[in-house]
Amino acid sequence: MFTGLVTDIGEIAAVREVAQGLRRLRIACSYPAASIQQGASIACAGVCLTVVGIGEADGRSWFEADAAAETLRLTTVGSWRERRRINLERPLRVGDELGGHIVAGHVDGIAAVTVREQMTDMARFELRAPPELARFIASKGSVALDGVSLTVNEAENDTFSVLLIPHTLQVTTFGGVGAGGRLNLEVDQMARYAARLLQSDKATRT
């Protein structure tokens, strides 16, 4: 589990096909190599990936992770190329402060940025969610976009907006995101469970 608070910005160092429908990514990062464990989970732009290799090169640590066909199809991972910068977060540990919201690292779909409005030291993003996910997004609720925990400002039909404060723009990849950008979207787990309970209750009553 994660909290949606980015702890590093990684860079795609290499991408290679290791089997049909299986792609291996090498990601350079600032985490000490000795602190990364084989088999550990790291959220990469919101996608929970398993570490399958660790090393150091050119003064930076790196880790490798495999992305399978489903991940390549449902997330932006399929479009990642060398030099792309991605938000990274290591998993929540017992006793850690929960500063964002509970994020599973299981991306539900891709949200498209339709508008970026630059404000004084802030930015407002308007996004369009896949129609099947829109019902889980509500004003003042939470979403994770490229692994970043954000509060929904407004939501109507399949569009919603978020405000990014200066700190978020500085410590994530959002500083370089504009209209036309595609972001990994994970809806709030509580919203999903609530919708499921309502659906079950309705089915019981009919």
pLDDT of residue 190: 73
pLDDT, tens digit, 9 for 90 and up, residues 63-93: 999 999 999 999 999 999 999 999 999 998 7
What does the H/E/C string look like for the chain?
Answer: CECCCCCEEEEEEEEEEEECCEEEEEEEECCCHHHCCCCCEEEECCEEEEEEEEEEECCEEEEEEEEEHHHHHHCHHHHCCCCCEEEEECCCCCCCCCCCCCECCCCCEEEEEEEEEEECCEEEEEEECCHHHHCCCCCCCEEEECCEEEEEEEEECCEEEEEECHHHHHHCHHHHCCCCCEEEEEECHHHHHHHHHHHHHHHHHC
pLDDT, tens digit, 9 for 90 and up, residues 120-152: 889 999 999 999 999 999 999 999 999 999 999
17 falls in which pLDDT band (50, 70, 90)? Answer: very high
Domains of the chain in sequence order: 8-89 (2.40.30.20), 109-196 (2.40.30.20)
